[in-house]
Structure 1
Amino acid sequence: MEYILPILTSFLFCFIAIQVVGPIAIKVGLVDVPNARKHHNGHIPLIGGVAIYIGVITSSLFFVETNSAFVIYLLSASLLLFIGVLDDYYDLPVRARIVAQILVACMMIFGAGYYLESFGSIFGSDEAHLGKIGVLVTILAVLGAINAFNMVDGIDGLAGALSLVTFMSLGVLLGIAGSNWYLLALLFIASIVAFLMFNLRWPNRSLNKIFMGDSGSMLIGLTVVWLLVIGADDNVRAFEPVTALYLIAVPLMDMVAIMYRRLKKGKSPFKPDRDHLHHIFERAGYTRKQSLAAITLASALIAFIGCFMQIIAIPEWIRFCIFVLMFGVYNYTLIHIWKVITWLNRKKKH
């Protein structure tokens, strides 16, 4: 019951919130409209983030021990959700979103007192302490995580499925370490499952489709980086900082690679396009469901490897080198994507 009751409560609150908020969103115009970049049928309510927030926050009032750090988290999550809803409705400029994200990062650092103090021993036996520069690194980490999950939200279920992988990994590692923050990961898992039922219209096609929206992807990104920083904190030490890279590997690598390619072309790194990993799968002839399954499985495998190496205490510098090599292969694949697509098509024919 320690686990089941909070999970069921979060799931039910999110499920009910979707039913209640969905019609309201349609009336006020909080919907996603098809265009040249967004291919879907009809006007879809952008209320996934609001529903997940309601499911998690409401259930946390019953099951999460309230302390000053958790109150700061609630305030920062509420602020970012509000900015996300405004962005979904008004399409805010990038600068406004970045300012809000820096503000919530500062709330985590100066309000709750959580920030990255070191990179661990990724360069050898000595620990790479950050000192005061850890504040700047943490702000960049918050911006990176929030925008990584925001950018990967391109096909039905992808941001939700990838965040499930991350929250499951965080729940396990934080639970093993004895940190009560594992419960927040469980609450998000339950609410995201409820969201995915409507987003994917599974197991019943009669469910009304909804989208996560920027409010949802930014809320998830904030919560992920919040738990990652806590997990790597010396007082918790659920995992070393290098393990965090494996837990958000696919969103992180996709964001860094795509921003690099945009800058190389002389474009804004935040300008939307159709060059993400899931778009590449589609151009290779895979359906969206096949793309979703393949990318999620890849993310789960990488996260499992990261958790496994953490548990058996593989040296941090080896784990870091493996991740760098993996990212190098990923980036090389994107640069030579048409050769890869040709190879994949040949495999499909066989």
Structure 2
Amino acid sequence: MNSLELMKYGTVLLPFLCAMLLSWGMLPYILLISYRKRLFDPVDSRKLHQHIVPRLGGVAFAPIQCCILVITFVSLYKLNIGNIDLQVASWIILPSMALLVCGLVILFMIGIGDDLIGVSYKWKFVAQIMVGCLLPLSGVWINDLYGLGFVIGIPAWLGMPLTVFVVVLIINAINLIDGIDGLCSGVVTIGLAVLGALFAYYGAWLHAIFAFITVAVLLPFFYLNVFGTTRRRRRIFMGDTGSMTLGFSIAFLVVSFSMNNHFIKPFSDGAIVVAFSTLIVPVLDVARVMFVRWRIGKPIFKPDRNHLHHKLLRAGLSRHSALLFILLMTLLFCLFNIVAVRYVSNNLVVLVDLLFWGGFHYLFNVLEKRQLIARLQLFINL
């Protein structure tokens, strides 16, 4: 590895370390303020926790992401630190990065309002559509399906609305998967790490830097969320502020990686399948839950306890075991798809993914029904 390559990896490592230190520094202050002002997540029958826990951990995410990203962008382009060629012209990347920051700020403000006083889901939906429109406006939109569904290139009039729909879907999927400690942050961390490594491999260094900045912000939160204790006042939730900004962050990277645009990265046949493999678990879980609600006649947006993590908990797994199971499933989907797209078509890879997901839930439902019948028989015998 020559000195130029080392400097490129250094441009990723330094923002990563700065973001991690800022996150470690901000979260204790957020905890202190939350306890003093009694800003806690409400405890109800649908929640798994039974103690007061602050829900403003996500307040630390967007400010650190935006601050470190802007400083890094200015340092690399305006000040030309290290004289590093990032293989993309600033006039191409600047609009997408600028509107990425705008979208994070909008969702940050809506999220804080929702976590503190509550915001109607209609207004949150409007805000999500608004930030979804920022990606096509900046020139980032899904313009190629790479043969998925036997469709290759798609026109702007179809690709741009599709991009807005995908962004809103991802934001809500990430928000809805935030059901047990570490699940949302863990799934997003794995997805961002995979995308960041892929962007670095293709030489799209600014996208890789943003991905690893977000990973760095999440690591301290993940530790406090999973291993922090309520008695020592070291446990915290991310709230809607965190889940929505994280959803938009990974949506930006997924759409950027999926886009057939040589200015960002070289062409790759399996780009769209590889990109969305990072979101298979949350997106398919939300789709399955909404389908079940529709089939039994319940409102599709009404919360319930039918998500994947709820099913694993009902099966007897501990929260940490359920978390580890879902994180491993997410990682395996990513690794399988990255390797599989090199040898078989995108359609076949997606078919295998869907068959695995459907088969897993079918077997799980069968076992769950057998356990329920066995418990009923035992109760009758008693």
TM-score of the aligned structures, taking structure 1 as reference length: 0.89
Matches for 1:74-153 after TM superposition, within 5 Å = 74-110=101-137, 112-124=138-150, 127-153=152-178
Is residue 10–residue 58 contact of structure 1 (8 Å, CA) maintained in 2?
Answer: no
Counterpart code for 1:253 = L
Gaps of 5+ in 2: 1-9, 78-93, 376-382
In the other structure, the counterpart of 2:190 is 165
Question: How much is the aligned-residue C-alpha RMSD, in angstroms?
Answer: 2.5
Q: Indicate whether 1:174 and 2:220 are aligned.
A: no
Q: Is the 8 A contact 1:246 1:303 kept in 2?
A: yes
Which string of whole-angstrom CA distances, capped at 9 and with x for unpartnered residues, describes residues 117-163 of structure 1? Answer: 12221234x62524411122111101110011111100000001101
Alignment deviations for residues 43-65 of structure 1 (CA, whole Å, 9 cap, x no partner): 21112211122332232233235
**8 Å Cα contact 1:109-1:115 kept in structure 2:** yes
Counterpart selection for 1:4 from 7, 10, 13: 13
Which letter does structure 1 place at the counterpart of 2:142? L
Residue 215 of structure 1 pairs with residue 265 of structure 2: no
Would the aligned equivalents of 1:197 and 1:203 in 2 still touch at CA under 8 Å?
no
Aligned-residue offset at 1:23: 2.2
CA distance in 2, matches of 1:37, 1:97: 21
Compared CA separation, residues 23 and 331, structure 1 to 2 (3 A): same
- Offset at residue 336 of structure 1 (A): 4.1
Larger radius of gyration: 2
**Aligned position for 1:296:** 327
Equivalent residues of 2:333, 2:353 under 8 A apart: no
Name the CA distance, whole Å, in 2 between partners of 1:233 and 1:31: 40
Deviations 1:70-111 (Å, cap 9, x if unpaired)?
A: 11101101101111121222332221111110000111212x
Aligned to 1:192: 218
SS of 2:112's equivalent in the other structure is helix
Cα displacement (A) at 1:248: 0.7
TM-aligned CA deviation for residue 318 of structure 1: 2.0
SS of the equivalent of 2:216 reads helix
Secondary structure in 1 aligned to 2:148? coil
- Which residue does the alignment assign to 1:278? 309
Q: State how far apart, in whole Å, the 2-side matches of 1:255 and 1:172 are.
A: 27
Q: Tell me, in whole angstroms, the C-alpha distance in 1 between the residues paired with 2:110 and 2:343.
A: 40
Q: Which amino acid aligns with 1:288?
A: R
CA offset at residue 29 of structure 1?
4.4
- Counterparts of 2:15 and 2:242 in 1: how far apart (Å)? 20
Counterpart pick for 2:338 among 288, 299, 307: 307
Contact persistence 1:144–1:252 (CA under 8 A)? yes
Equivalent residue, structure 2, for 1:58: 67
Partner SS for 2:116: helix
The alpha-carbon deviation at position 282 of structure 1 amounts to 0.9
Cα distance per residue 1:19-55 (max 9 Å; x no partner): 2222223344432021111132432111221112233
Q: Which residue of 2 aligns with 1:316?
A: 346
Q: Aligned equivalents of 2:229 and 2:45: distance in 1?
A: 29
Q: Deviation at 1:241? A: 1.5
Q: Give 1:341 deviation, angstroms.
A: 5.9
Judge which range, 47-56 or 75-84, deviates more.
Answer: 47-56
Cα distance between partner residues in 1 of 2:278 and 2:372:
30
1:326 aligns with 2:356: yes
Change (3 A) 1:298 1:107: same
Q: Offset of 1:333 from its aligned partner?
A: 4.5
Between 1:326-335 and 1:155-164, the stretch displaced more is: 326-335
Post-superposition offset of 1:331: 5.0
Farther-moved stretch of structure 1 (60-69 vs 188-197): 60-69
State how far apart, in whole Å, the 1-side matches of 2:183 and 2:239 are: 12
The answer to which of 57-66 and 260-269 deviates more is: 57-66
- Closer, same or farther: CA 313–129 of 1 in aligned 2, 3 Å: farther
For the structure 1 residues 95 and 199, does the alpha-carbon distance in structure 2 shift closer, same or farther, using more than 3 Å as the test? same
Measure, in 2, the Cα distance between the counterparts of 1:281 and 1:328: 15
Residue type at the aligned position of 1:106:
C
Q: From the superposition, tell whether residues 334 and 321 of structure 1 become closer, same or farther in structure 2 (CA, over 3 Å).
A: same
Contact 1:165 1:300 in 2 (8 A): yes
Question: 1:3 aligns to what SS in structure 2?
Answer: helix
Task: Give the distance between the partners of 1:334 and 1:92, measured in 2 at CA.
Answer: 36
Checking the alignment, whether the CA contact within 8 Å between 1:51 and 1:195 is kept in structure 2 is: no
Q: How high is the sequence identity, in percent, across the aligned residues?
A: 27
Structure 1 residue 205: Cα displacement: 8.6
